[in-house]
Amino acid sequence: KELPAASTLPLVSLNHVSILCRSVKDSTKFYQDVLGFALIKRPSSFDFEGA
């Protein structure tokens, strides 16, 4: 169902998203190969696993 334009969020940019997944390797491959995303360097302050 489509929402009326007045009900939608006027998104201009997106900085960060956190998504839980079963395999970081498989998810990274999907985002790069299928969606065309570029992998960037993770900040050294991140002391947890992720892409």
Whether the pLDDT of residue 31 is over 70: the answer is yes
Whether the pLDDT of residue 10 is over 80: the answer is no
Banded model confidence at residue 23, pLDDT cuts 50, 70, 90 = very high
> 11 — phi, psi (to 5°)?
-75, 125
Domain span holding position 38: 16-43
Q: Is residue 29 part of a domain?
A: yes
50: Cβ–Cβ under 8 A, 6 or more apart, which residues? Answer: 24, 42
Total domains present in the chain: 1
CB 51 within 8 A of CB 37: no
Which among 25, 51, 26 has a CA at the least distance from the CA of 40? Answer: 51
Whether the pLDDT of residue 47 is over 90: the answer is no
What is the Cα–Cα distance from 41 to 22, expressed in whole angstroms?
21
Q: Is residue 51 part of a domain?
A: no
